[in-house]
Structure 1
Amino acid sequence: MTGLAEFRPVMLVTGVLVATLGAAMLLPALVDLAADNDDWMIFASSAMVTMLFGLGLFIANRGAPKGLSTRQAMLMTVISWVALVAFGALPLHWSGIVPSYTDAFFESMSGLTTTGATVITGLDTAPPGLLFWRGLLQWLGGLGIIVMAIAVLPMLQIGGMQLFKAEAFDTAEKILPRATQISMSITLVFIAMTGICAIAYMVAGMSADDAVIHAMTTVATGGFSTKDGSIGHFNSSAVEWIAIVFMVLGAIPFLLYVQMLQGRFRPILADDQVKAFMGFLAVTILAGWMMAHFSENHLGMDGLRHAAFNVISITTGTGYASTDYGLWGPHAVAFFFIIMFVGGCAGSTSCGIKIFRFQVLVEAVRQHISQVMYPNGVFRAHFNGKPIEDRVVASVMSFFFLFTASFVILSILLKMSGLDTLTALSGAGTALSNVGPGLGEIIGPAGNFQSLTDTQKWLLAGGMLLGRLELFTVLVLFLPRFWRS
């Protein structure tokens, strides 16, 4: 297959996804209609435009060959995400809540990639449909990320994700007959978890609309809030503890929840990745608690709550803030900058480098040291009780190199665009790790991204896409070899 014929399956899938997004726009239209807000017309017209474009693409490419090659899968992933972001920005732009399409695109990209960086101020008085749309974007993005991590990325053998290929589809055969059923089971788990989280928030004192939107962005580890003060606005320890629980649940592989529903509890208890993630959180929360306490900002149990909330929020890439942790001292700034990159587990809604890659790296280093000490010995790196293939180690090493290179280049470009060093470094880190708030006065937990220039916003939006699609999927499109038959 060469030429345009090769693009047909890609356009077919993109058309279906765009039309689905258009249908989803009718939900915030109903929310505005129920609240007697005229913005429902903006969502209705955005939905019409989006659905017409999506259905047009679908009809034009009907009869395209089924199945995708590796090249088509990579193209489909990037093109569909960019198309969804571009159309997701329409209601934001047409509503006038942001001054330009650049701002709307940035907000939409931040939503669908579950980053949580925002350019909107005055959220407390924003129309209800618009707040619901931001939450829905993150919720759909979180669900899309899980499905992508289970079905697409392992097939493309990207960044060591092939570790989960056999596992995902062995599991599929043992538990459910087809991958589509796995996706359906995960969707149902995702919906149920969101519902339980919303009810918990309501019990803790949130209004129904705030509870539903925050539940969507908590489970998706996204971080968009309905308030300028984020979760800190509610000034409620109950709300923060609920958020802590569901941020952690959102950062654990959703396939494990499907197995639990089948009555198999051992996988979640025995999973190396989950154990390492929980261990990492325990150590970093303790460190954060010490900083909060000794800076005399939050003492005793109050300090533990704020440390647990903000450490989990940044590590999982949710990006909620309950307090300005930049005030906990210069060491706290460095601490939060480092944990920003870690991320949660593969196959969850979480972002960042991901725990399993650090585990593979440690195993590879341990194997190398053993080989140096005992040249005639035979040593194998293991993950989840299985030997790690050399090409998986190479793939993970390549990911670390590319992540570091992308971070350095993006930081330099942001610095050249006029940002100070801390803002440029943390901006690049927060975009690539899909975290949300950066550090410093401008984009820190107490600020937002509105005052940045259009160039800086486009650079950061590109960084968010790069980080969310695991680098390789996007960067490979820039290789001339990729486009040759």
Structure 2
Amino acid sequence: MINYRIILSFIGNTLILLSIIMVIPLMYAFITVSRGSAEFLASMVITMITGLLIKNLTKNHSMTMTIRDMFLFTTMLWVTIVIFAAIPIHLIMRTDLLSSCIETAAAVSTSGNTVIGNVDLIPGSILIWRSMLQYLGGIGFIAVGIAILPNLNVGGMKLFSTESSKESTDKVMPKSKTLATGMVITYLGLTLLAYVVYYFLGMSSFDAFNHALTSLSTGGMSTHQSSMNYFSPTIHWAVILFMFLGALPFPLVFLAIHGHLKELLSDAQVRGFMALIIVVSLVTTLSLVFSEDYPVADAFRVALFNTVSVISTTGYSLEDYSNYNDFITMLFFFLIPLGACSSSTSGGLKIFRLQIGFILFKRQIKQLMHPAAIFPQKYNNQPVNDVIIRSIITFFCAYFIVVFVSSLLLCLSGFGMLDALSATMACMSNLGIGLGPNVGPNGDFSVLTDWQKIILCFDMITGRLEVLTILICFVPSFWKV
């Protein structure tokens, strides 16, 4: 039986925390005498009262969560945050409630797209609120990815019960409570460092604060309609660094900061992530130099920035890669769903799943040549058993079924084939930007119909929660006692 009391109790606590966080954009609006102070105050009161009521009505609950409770709690948590975080946007921007919810869904899922329109016309309090939601969504997903998803074995995440389960890493990995505290401090520390670096490289204090939040969380929302094109090339290099850091496994980043850099650099997914960035950046650079007549230095900067932005699923735009030659456009199209490392703020399929898929492919080829032989498979020196293999295969199937169905529905609603497929994959991977004038790097979702927005909103939340966490709630047997 589902323990609704404990689920709702945690939801109540979340709403109370969310209302407290609203103080920051409220104070900004009040101090700068700009739009939003009254609306954020009203939103804070509504959210706080709702949280307290839910908390009060669910007293004396059991402290034990079953597997079903965890699935439902994870889904309800994200949906609840999306709804209540949309209240100030709805009140200030006068957008309809659906568009407001989709804006917050994009923020919390770190997808980075927008339905509001011209970002330059958005009040500062809302820009801060969007950035904070992306930041919270980033650290929230790291927590879910470490504490909940491994217990549910969603998409092979059981491999990362303590993140990297290699024997060498286990010897230096601290206890869960110490690790959790350390990762929060690491996340905050890197954010502060990003702010300082951005500020001293020429960003305003306001821009530096917002981009520190949205680059480390690999969210990609900017304070300017032109995104990274607004800033100098020097700032581009700094943003590349913090997007890259946000896409690494945070438990291993924590270890690296404390003197165990070898554990980070020896991790299979980190090596694969770095290799992919290097190869794609160099290939794109050569294509820009020889096909688009770019200077070598500019070509490398643009290529590296867009490669890291797409693979890390950040979604900052620097020029529109869909306007380059067909080779680059197709290359980035295939990069959209990949994603970066597990236990990072990135979305997507994740590097480790692709690597395990390749391991299984090689084993199957060997098995065809030597049917009687036994070929053990390992990942990071850890055995990959049939339970994990089935989990990963199921994840891939579910992921691409959602992509297929969503793309068909978008085509039915009037989208072109490439626009529909790239938009769906961009939302499922939490990149946020696809290809084309409406959903590409220079577009936004404000021109979409309500039906199209709903489809892509579902994709953003489904992709953020690793697909199966959402889909299992649609299975009738899930709700049976």
TM alignment of 1:59-138, pairs within 5 A: 59-96=56-93, 99-138=95-134
Deviates most, 364-373 or 394-403: 364-373
Matched, 1:25 2:32: no
Letter in 1 for 2:285: W
**C-alpha spacing 1:415/1:306, structure 2 compared with 1 (3 Å):** same
Is residue 2:274 matched to residue 1:278? yes
Pick from 437, 442, 454 the counterpart of residue 438 of structure 2. 442
Partner of 2:322 in structure 1?
Answer: 326
Gap change, CA 1:195 and 1:65, over 3 Å in 2: same
**CA spacing shift, 1:375–1:166, aligned 2, 3 Å:** farther
- Check 1:173–1:32 CA distance in 2 against 1; reply closer, same or farther (3 A cut): farther
CA distance in 1, matches of 2:438, 2:475: 36
Q: In structure 2, give the amino acid aligned to 1:249.
A: L
- Is the 1:175–1:262 contact (alpha carbons within 8 Å) kept by the matching residues of 2? no
Letter in 2 for 1:79: M
Instruction: Give the Cα separation in 2 of the matches to 1:260 and 1:346.
Output: 16
2:423 to 424, 427, 448: 427
Measure how far apart 1:421 and its partner are. 1.5
User: Does 2:175 correspond to 1:154?
Assistant: no
Offset at 1:286?
1.3
- Asked if 1:300 corresponds to 2:259, the answer is no
Structure 1 residue 310: deviation in Å?
A: 0.7
- Paired with 1:209 and 1:78, the residues of 2 have a C-alpha distance of 33
The match for 1:359 is: 355
Q: Is 1:384 paired with 2:380?
A: yes
Q: Which residue identity does 1:14 align to in structure 2?
A: I
Q: TM-score, normalised by structure 1?
A: 0.96
Closer/same/farther in 2, CA of residues 297 and 464 from structure 1, 3 Å limit: farther
Aligned equivalent of 2:214: 217
5+ long unaligned stretches in structure 1: none
Cα distance between partner residues in 2 of 1:91 and 1:166: 37
CA contact (8 A) 1:92 1:130 kept: yes
What's the secondary structure of 1:159's corresponding residue?
helix
What secondary structure is seen at the aligned counterpart in 2 of 1:88? Answer: helix
1: CA distance between counterparts of 2:111 and 2:385? 32
Shift of 1:167: 4.7
Tell me the residue number matched to 1:13: 10
- After superposing the two structures, state which structure 1 stretch, 340-349 or 182-191, moved more: 182-191
Read off the aligned partner of 2:205 and give its amino acid letter.
A
The one-letter code matched in structure 1 to 2:132 is L
Q: Could you tell me how far 1:243 is from its partner in structure 2?
A: 0.7
Percentage identity across paired residues of the two chains: 34
Name the residue aligned to 1:40: 37
In structure 1, distance between residues paired with 2:197 and 2:305: 17
Report the CA distance shift for 1:63/1:75 in structure 2 as closer, same or farther (over 3 A): same
Q: Indicate conservation of the 8 Å contact 1:113/1:464, yes or no.
A: yes
Separation in 2, partners of 1:348, 1:167: 10
CA distance in 2, matches of 1:466, 1:301: 39
Aligned length: 479
Q: Secondary structure at the match of 1:65?
A: coil
| SS class of match (1:350) | coil
Take 1:13 and 1:160, find their aligned partners in 2: how far apart are those partners? 26
Give the secondary structure class of the aligned counterpart of 1:29: helix
1:407-444 deviations in Å (ceiling 9; x for gaps): 10000011111111121111111111110111111111
**Range with greater deviation from structure 2 (236-245 or 57-66):** 57-66
Q: Root-mean-square deviation (CA), in Å?
A: 1.6
Q: Which one-letter code corresponds to 2:461 in the other structure?
A: L
Aligned to 1:192: 189
User: What is aligned with 2:253?
Assistant: 257
Gaps of 5+ in 2: none
CA distance in 2, matches of 1:183, 1:36: 38
Shift of 1:290: 2.3
Q: Is the 8 A contact 1:291 1:328 kept in 2?
A: no
Distance 1:28 1:180 in 2: 31
Residue 324 of structure 2 aligns to which amino acid in structure 1?
W
What is the deviation of 1:67?
Answer: 2.4
Distance 1:440 1:176 in 2: 46
Aligned counterparts of 2:329 and 2:63: Cα–Cα separation in 1: 50
Residue 350 of structure 1: how far off its partner (Å): 0.6
Deviations 1:308-340, CA, capped at 9 Å, x for gaps: 111110111100011011121122221111000
Give the distance between the partners of 1:33 and 1:172, measured in 2 at CA. Answer: 49
1:82 partner letter: V
The aligned residue for residue 235 of structure 2 is 239
Contact conserved, 2:315 with 2:433, CA < 8 A, in 1? Answer: yes
Tell me if the contact between 1:172 and 1:182 (Cα under 8 Å) persists in the aligned partners.
Answer: no
> Aligned partners of 1:328 and 1:258: how far apart in 2?
38
- Answer whether contact 1:247 1:318 (CA < 8 A) is retained: yes
1:63: Cα distance to partner? 1.6
How far did residue 174 of structure 1 move? 5.9
Alpha-carbon shift at residue 371 of structure 1 (Å): 2.1
1:49 corresponds to = 46
CA distance in 1, matches of 2:96, 2:286: 43
